[in-house]
Structure 1
Amino acid sequence: MDWYPDPDETTLLRTPIHFATGYAHPVAGSRWFRDTERRDIQAELPGWPAGPEFTPHTKTAQNVDRVGGGLLGGIVTAIQVAVEAVIGGNSVPIGQDPSRSKPEDPANESEDFPVMWAAPGTLARTVPWQLDPSRRPDRYRVDAVVTERRFLLLGVGPDLTAPAQVLWETARDTVAGAERLKFSAGGHDLRIRFTDGSWVRLSTAATEKLGGLLADRRRLVPESELTPGQRERVARFVTELPTTAQTPKFFRLAGGVVLVESQVPAKIGKGLFETHSILMGETGDPARPQPGEL
């Protein structure tokens, strides 16, 4: 799965990602691709193979889902969260159980479930079809990569020794923002908005981290910007890391707190990583970020 940034850029995040899936009973297990008139546009997307045709569930089907799928759905979600917690480092959000919450955007979360909202000629229409779990091959995944300059999507096949394929990329300044959507399985959905008004709804265990980077809530800084106290704390942090750990990266959050992160290869599989991190204030002492900064 080799992929490397250009010599003058740094990989800030790499994480598995895919189109989201409907969570509310009327749209459970479904996803649609819409233009701004809510027309289905998947047949208009160049190069896309045919995919399943979804229809909202009837009341009868919803009642069956509630009885038969309530327990099973809870078990599946728990397993999913556990697995994604491992492959996504420490980025799984902890908090409100989405199954007990209500849709924040009923038109797009319970009445309909678009994972692409794109007028003709907009950027969202160019994302790769491999993001769709219903279309991509078995044992194939897509990784999202963020650098200082680019947002990329890489294709990774079953042969992890083969180079990853760059499926899509765009400049960071084409991304208008990103927001976590709490009403979703595990709270893992993220809406990424582009400057042309189009958007996609994706799912990743690294929701908060990816959203923070794309929303510019965390800024990569060189070690030279750290205070003496922060450098001393980083030196202690490095001694506590495994010998296989990567060189730490430093991010200044909007409120001034510095986040230090180091990736460590995970033992459960090649190409997977665990994230070790600390948060520190100006003197190097532990610090608490403001709500929403992570």
Structure 2
Amino acid sequence: MIEEPRRYRVEFASGTAASVAERRSFRDLERNDIEPDLPGWPAQPPFRVRGFFGKLGVYVRCATIRLLLLPLIIIADALGSPVSPEKRGELEERENEIDDFPVMWAGEGETARTLPWQLDPSRRSWRTMTEIEVAEPDGLVRIWSYEDTMQGSRHLSWGGGGKVPGSEALLWTLPRSEIVGAEIKRFSLDESDFRVSFRDGSWVRLTSSPNGAQRVVALLGQGMPVSDPAPARP
């Protein structure tokens, strides 16, 4: 019996360091911004690394949120359901995780540039969900989207969680043989970020749930063909 491919929620990662929190950039091999060159992508304000006061604002906001959540954490712990705060792992690449936060690294015409813009949460409707499907080693990797029935807003939702009938769309396909590696990025909340590297040397940084990230990396690491060593990473 052939097992049906599993799907996992996925989107472009967002920075977690104060300088790049909730931001992401798209770069060529010389670290130039390539967003304006990505065909069909909705325009966004240019990426900026936060300065001192911007980073201070992030720290203040995070501290305020933690203080507001503290009573809930104490109550949950008293009821026997301890809540562990999200943890971020070791910094691996300062130039790509603090000084900048590229989620796409690709030269002209390279594979990473073909990823759909719907993976960017700042460009799509907050009700649009994107999922990755990993098939057998000699098959295809697909990215799907659908509209969720949840109620609320981008920052606060309640109820729903189903799929709007007829909203599912296939956004992207790629032969699995074009993917040469995938790895968890430790400098992310609960190690939920992962990098997918393509045969031409381009790569993308995506995020999922911690379990989803681990599963996708494990699946993309199975049965991959032997290839030439990838170019040194920026």
Query: TM-score band, normalised by the shorter chain?
Result: 0.7 to 0.9
Gaps of 5+ in 2: 73-83, 149-162, 225-234
Q: Distance in 2 between matches of 1:180 and 1:24?
A: 17
Per the alignment, residue 153 of structure 1 pairs with 143
- Which residue of structure 2 lines up, in the alignment, with residue 209 of structure 1? 215
Q: Is 1:45 matched up with 2:51?
A: no
Whether the 8 Å CA contact 2:11–2:119 is kept in 1: the answer is yes
TM-score by length of 1: 0.60
C-alpha spacing 1:97/1:57, structure 2 compared with 1 (3 Å): same
Q: Residues of 2 paired with 1:58 and 1:201: CA distance?
A: 24
Aligned-partner SS, 1:27: coil
Q: Residue 150 of structure 1 aligns to which amino acid in structure 2?
A: L
- Does the 8 Å contact 1:13/1:210 carry over to 2? no
1:11 matches 2:11: no
Q: What does residue 229 of structure 2 align with? A: none
For the Cα contact (< 8 Å) 1:179–1:191, is it kept in 2? yes
Q: Is the CA contact (8 Å cut-off) linking 2:87 and 2:189 kept in structure 1?
A: no
**Cα displacement (A) at 1:187:** 1.7
Matched ranges for 1:148-227 at <5 A: 148=136, 149-158=139-148, 160-162=164-166, 164-205=168-209, 206-216=212-222
| Residue 10 (structure 1) shift | 4.6
Q: Displacement, 1:164? A: 1.9
- Structure 1 runs, 4 residues or longer, greater than 6 Å off: 73-76
Aligned length: 193
Q: State the partner residue of 2:91.
A: 103
Q: Structure 1 residues 217, 104: closer, same or farther in 2, change over 3 A?
A: farther
Q: 1:233-279 deviations in whole A, cap 9, x for unaligned?
A: xxxxxxxxxxxxxxxxxxxxxxxxxxxxxxxxxxxxxxxxxxxxxxx
* C-alpha deviation, 1:197, in angstroms: 0.3
- Report the Cα distance in structure 2 between the residues aligned to 1:70 and 1:203, rounded to whole angstroms: 24
Supply the distance in 1 between the matched residues of 2:126 and 2:12 (Cα, whole angstroms).
Answer: 16
8 Å CA contact retained: 2:90, 2:186 = no
1:62 shift after superposition: 1.2
SS at match of 1:65: helix
Alpha-carbon RMSD across the aligned residues, in angstroms, is 2.6
Q: 1:171 to 1:122 in 2, by over 3 A?
A: same
Secondary structure (helix, strand or coil) at the match of 2:10 reads strand
Q: Distance in 2 between matches of 1:131 and 1:27?
A: 18
Does 2:54 match 1:66? no
Deviation at 1:186, TM superposition (A): 2.9
Q: Which has the higher contact order (CA 8 A, sep 6+)?
A: 2
Q: Which residue of 1 aligns with 2:118?
A: 130
Distance, in Å, in 1 between the alignment partners of 2:104 and 2:207 is 13
Conserved in 2, the CA contact under 8 Å of 1:52 and 1:134? no
2:61 counterpart letter in structure 1 = G
> What is the CA distance between 1:174 and its match in structure 2?
0.4
Is contact 1:178–1:191 with CA below 8 Å preserved after alignment?
Answer: yes
8 Å CA contact 1:11–1:145 kept in 2: the answer is no
Larger Rg: 1
Contact 1:180 1:190 in 2 (8 A): yes
8 A Cα contact 1:190 1:211, kept in partner: yes
Q: Does 1:142 align with 2:130?
A: yes
1:189 is displaced (CA, Å) by 0.4
Q: Structure 1 CA distance, aligned partners of 2:68 and 2:91? A: 21
